[in-house]
Amino acid sequence: MESSTVTPEGTAFPPDLERLGVVAGAKIDIRDLDAMGRRHNFHVFLYFEGDLARDSTLREDLQEYGGVPETERPFVDLNAFLRYAGEEDPLFTRRLDELPLVIEVVAYGELRTEEGKLVPYVKGLMPFLDELTMEDTQTAS
């Protein structure tokens, strides 16, 4: 898998995504990010580890974790995450109304598919469990 990433990954975003508010550091509800990705034809990869999300590229991560089942990787495609969460918890979507899941946008890049097509992507960082707990505690007080 020699050069699967064509546009170098970085914190510079195309103007059309910037107009949507999809820029490095933006915090966007997971449902909104999913809708934007579908409407504007970009993939979203969710990362569970902040250091990995910021210090590596998607290309490196796909190479390193290529033989690891998707459910065991420290990152996942947003569509796969939503599908899995919905299968595991049929009330997942409703729970997002009560406790929105806000993703931090980290980087932008492009991947070349096996068919040779360029596919833009955004890397997002899932909130850490302790951050969710802290926010809940602050909201309750």
Indicate the pTM of the whole model: 0.84
- The answer to the question of residue 39 being in a domain is yes
How far is CA 130 from its chain centroid? 19
Contact in structure between 30 and 78 (CB atoms under 8 Å) = yes
Domain encompassing residue 20: 15-128
Answer whether residue 104 is part of any domain. Answer: yes
Structural domains of the chain, count: 1
Residue range 62-114, pLDDT digits in tens: 999 999 998 899 999 999 999 999 999 999 989 999 999 999 999 999 988 88
- The reply to whether 93 falls in a domain is yes
In a domain, 135, yes or no: no
Residues 22, 43 contacting (CB under 8 angstroms)? no
